[in-house]
Structure 1
Amino acid sequence: MTTGSRKREVPTVPGRLPLVGHTPAMLRQRLAFTAKLRSHGDVVRVWLGPLPVYFATTPELAHQVLSGQTGTFAKGLLVDKLRRAFGNGLVSTDGEFHRRQRRMIQPALQRPALERHAEVMSASAADLVDSWRPGQVLRFDRAMQDFTIGVVGRTLFSTDFDARVSAEIRRHTPTVIRLGVVRALAPGWLAAPVNRRFDDAVARVHRVVDDVVAGRRADRDDLLSTLVSARDEHGLPMNARQVRDEVVTLLVAGSETTGVALSWLFHELAENPDVADRLHDEVDEVVGRRPATPADVPDLPYTRRVISEVLRKYTLWIMMRRASADVTLGDVDLPAGTDVAFSPHALHHDPLSHAAPDRFDPDRWLPERAALVPRGAYVPFAGGLHHCPGHLYAQYEITIAAATIAARWRLVPVPGLPVRPKVIGLMYPNRLPMTVIPRSRLSR
């Protein structure tokens, strides 16, 4: 292949502006912008200021970027802009170093370690539901963020975070993600005003992590101890900075995505009473009124389908990669160094892959229906070499928490306060006030 040649000319998405390109439209329209890209072609060119980014708009091409040519695509522009936060943590590295770190970390996120972590999840969920009172109005999204931050604290450090630590993480992590996305999409001169705020938020998260690491006891059987004691194939450990980077990665990735998913799950149960009734029936049969345990998870298939549907409907807005070698994407030749992107949200809402994509339908994940979903059309945990290593941890946590809450409580929306997605990189609820009602007082 001749570097830089193309088998066909790639269409540029309409609406490019001088100097700033498509950045204003992307940041203003977000989901609508990426949803329309497929109408312009399988591969289309979007300009972020002076930088061209090639969007793959079909499941097949997204799968190729994630999995089809392992090693051909590396982490891209978005990760570059978030590297200040995650350093050389697993989420922001590539190549042999990434493989080394993944091999060292993976045992801490697989069985039997996962079963120990799941016991912590169960105990934390029990504490949560015991703390609520009938008729109490919760800022439910914040309650779920605090819960997931607390679970990560217990599994990482074998300790409960105090209120200050939880509040700092909850306050500054969304800022890091939001401003990281702005930094990635905007030209350097346009992103300059956000850099100071981004750096301040990163520094605050790092300071909290450093304080907790410094104050922990050494005789603990937790994730941090696993990181400290891990050795690579040459018998070498991670240095202190690398341990810190991995802790920040696990803390942020392990709390934000699961907290957001649990928030939307109970919002959807409130919006879909038939779904809620089926989930409650299953939980009643398997769990009763006790906390859910790791052993219950295989016996909760409908609950797990509800979770899969939440992860479909409320997924990442965009993922970005960079060609590390000359590559053919579909029928387009791209030289090494080309920035490539796709929208998981657009793929998850494509009617060619998902019937009635705006409908919340857990039964689309029945085995016979799920088998018809094309590869690349459902990517909640990415895929390929960079498939999220914590996906089992997240699935256990969401299942155990959802079943434990549903065993005791029904969450009812507060009237007159509409809930809508606030798209950053993740999809946060703009608000989620809910009243907790004991299920024992409810009748169908």
Structure 2
Amino acid sequence: MSVPVAPGRLPLFGHALPMLRRRHEFTASLRARGDIVRIDLGTMRTYFVTNPRLVHELLVTKGSLVRKGALFDKFRPFFGNGLATSDGAFHRRQRRMVRPAFHGARIAGYADIMARAAADLTATWRPGQVRVVEEDAQALAVTVVGEALFSTELGRPVIDEVRRSIFTVLRHGMVRVLSPSFVEKLPLPGNREFDEAIGRIRAIVLDVVRGWREEGVDRGDLLSTLLLARDPETGEGMSDRQVHDEVLTLLVGGIETTALALAWTFHELARHPEVERRVHAEVDEVLGGRVPTSADVGKLVYLNRVVNEVLRLYPVWFLMRRTLAPVELGGVVLPEGAEVIFSPHALHHDPASFEDPHRFDPDRWTPERAARIPKGAFIPFGAGVRQCVGNVFAQTEIVITLATVAARWRLVPVPGKPVRVKFTSAAYPSGLLMTAVPRN
């Protein structure tokens, strides 16, 4: 049943678990029921926020009144207490210490890694060769994050293990988190694969952290920055375990988003030849045949619009917060301890915010049109105090990679092989087969 929205009263959707098989249709349907909808997920009562203005208020204006929710409580035993899962004063301390790793000078160095990795990948392509694009994108994302974290051969075992195990962790992780607690104790193949993969990564990362600590040398990589970081307020550094947790967070967060964005961008460029032609023309004009650098990212204006549109179309499904005190949103007071859900996917496809929201339209990101998009309607990296600390890194990597590839190659769909989509935390392409065609 549903009831009118009034202070203290909310439309009630009821038990939602049977609907989660059609997850995107389900979350999109909630906006018709009101700005905030009460949903029961099994025995958990939650409040689903559908209005972008209220999501912005929750994350930014009243961000100090909320913490990460139940979803992240389930992640913490597996991924540790890094920036993605920590809260409160500890999270603020860690953010102060991690942020310098993503300042401008560091990003410039990472951009060189990104361009080299993209060039090395495409050097293996042959004209007319069919590529499994999502696998190329995943391999590239692992290489970039791995080499940015570990700049020398000492980090090679970690990169090799991440390449072996990270997508097992990502594939089973969301299923693990959304399942009742007793399910993770069952002797299921997926549980065993996940436990073994996350165990291998955690062990080898901790070994490398300890080895790096003994040398105490700044190699200009992310790991050195974390090990040498000091809290500007207390002068304290991070323990080996905390550095391990932040490295694991950067590995998981820095690979999935980038790999998905790259794969879907190649897919959309192939589906929209005029967009592809404009990208090629801009890349040729800005780069003139040379390797892109971080200074070129801001000059590739149209390519950045393309990337924004891909991030809009293919974001994560949902995120959660928990109130630390009673929080008033839209005339409704959510009680202390309330679990609050919002869906970037639903927000990014809301016709009230985006005209013809399912259409791929990079020009919706021109300054004039983008200025009309409501706050909270576009949150590919979150917002407020919990916004992803590596958002500039990710955006730079995506643009540098696309520019490097577009300068030399086109990717053309294989006839009769439509891409399949698998949904976990986001929409994953599966079997995205494309033919590598050199540009003249």
Normalising by structure 2, what TM-score?
Answer: 0.92
Structure 2 distance, partners of 1:212, 1:140, is 31
Structure 2 distance, partners of 1:249, 1:51, is 27
Match of 1:188 among 174, 181, 185: 181
Structure 1 distance, partners of 2:47, 2:337, is 12
Tell me, what secondary structure is at the counterpart of 2:341? strand
Tell me, what secondary structure is at the counterpart of 2:84? helix
Structure 1 distance, partners of 2:196, 2:205, is 14
Task: Please tell me whether residue 207 in structure 1 is matched to residue 203 in structure 2.
Answer: yes
Structure 2 distance, partners of 1:212, 1:179, is 25
| Offset at residue 427 of structure 1 (A) | 2.0
| Offset at residue 11 of structure 1 (A) | 2.0
Amino acid of the structure 2 residue aligned with 1:200:
E
2:158 touches 2:201 (CA, 8 Å); kept in 1? no
Tell me, what secondary structure is at the counterpart of 2:108? helix
1:48 touches 1:187 (CA, 8 Å); kept in 2? no
Compute the RMSD of aligned alpha carbons.
2.1
Alignment correspondent of 1:236: 236
Alignment correspondent of 1:25: 19
Alignment correspondent of 1:287: 287
| Offset at residue 281 of structure 1 (A) | 0.7
Check 1:344–1:256 CA distance in 2 against 1; reply closer, same or farther (3 A cut): same
Amino acid of the structure 2 residue aligned with 1:420:
R
Structure 1 distance, partners of 2:204, 2:149, is 14
| Offset at residue 409 of structure 1 (A) | 0.2
Alignment correspondent of 2:50: 57
| Offset at residue 110 of structure 1 (A) | 1.1
1:153 touches 1:161 (CA, 8 Å); kept in 2? no
* More divergent stretch after superposition (417-426 vs 401-410): 417-426
2:210 touches 2:240 (CA, 8 Å); kept in 1? no
Match of 1:159 among 148, 152, 164: 152
* CA displacement, residues 370-421 of structure 1 (integer Å, 9 cap, x when unaligned): 0000001000010000011111111111110000000000011122221133
| Offset at residue 170 of structure 1 (A) | 4.7
| Offset at residue 115 of structure 1 (A) | 1.2
1:414 touches 1:435 (CA, 8 Å); kept in 2? yes
2:206 touches 2:241 (CA, 8 Å); kept in 1? no
Check 1:25–1:201 CA distance in 2 against 1; reply closer, same or farther (3 A cut): farther
* More divergent stretch after superposition (123-132 vs 375-384): 123-132
Give the count of matched residue pairs.
Answer: 428
| Offset at residue 180 of structure 1 (A) | 3.8
Structure 1 stretches lacking a partner, 5+ long: 1-5, 17-21
Structure 2 distance, partners of 1:308, 1:252, is 21
Alignment correspondent of 1:257: 257
| Offset at residue 163 of structure 1 (A) | 9.0
| Offset at residue 164 of structure 1 (A) | 7.6
Amino acid of the structure 2 residue aligned with 1:310:
V
Tell me, what secondary structure is at the counterpart of 1:325? coil
Check 1:425–1:40 CA distance in 2 against 1; reply closer, same or farther (3 A cut): same
1:154 touches 1:160 (CA, 8 Å); kept in 2? no
Match of 2:34 among 33, 37, 41: 41
Tell me, what secondary structure is at the counterpart of 2:247? helix
* CA displacement, residues 130-184 of structure 1 (integer Å, 9 cap, x when unaligned): 2222122211111111111111111111037999855643554344345443344
Structure 2 distance, partners of 1:207, 1:345, is 34
2:344 touches 2:378 (CA, 8 Å); kept in 1? yes
Amino acid of the structure 1 residue aligned with 2:18:
P
Amino acid of the structure 1 residue aligned with 2:303:
T
Amino acid of the structure 1 residue aligned with 2:136:
A
Check 1:211–1:268 CA distance in 2 against 1; reply closer, same or farther (3 A cut): farther
2:7 touches 2:333 (CA, 8 Å); kept in 1? yes
Normalising by structure 1, what TM-score?
Answer: 0.91
Alignment correspondent of 1:3: none
Alignment correspondent of 1:19: none
Task: Please tell me whether residue 147 in structure 1 is matched to residue 147 in structure 2.
Answer: no
| Offset at residue 189 of structure 1 (A) | 4.0
1:172 touches 1:201 (CA, 8 Å); kept in 2? yes
2:422 touches 2:430 (CA, 8 Å); kept in 1? yes
Check 1:78–1:145 CA distance in 2 against 1; reply closer, same or farther (3 A cut): same
Percentage of pairs with the same residue = 52
Alignment correspondent of 1:321: 321
Match of 2:100 among 93, 102, 107: 107
Alignment correspondent of 2:269: 269
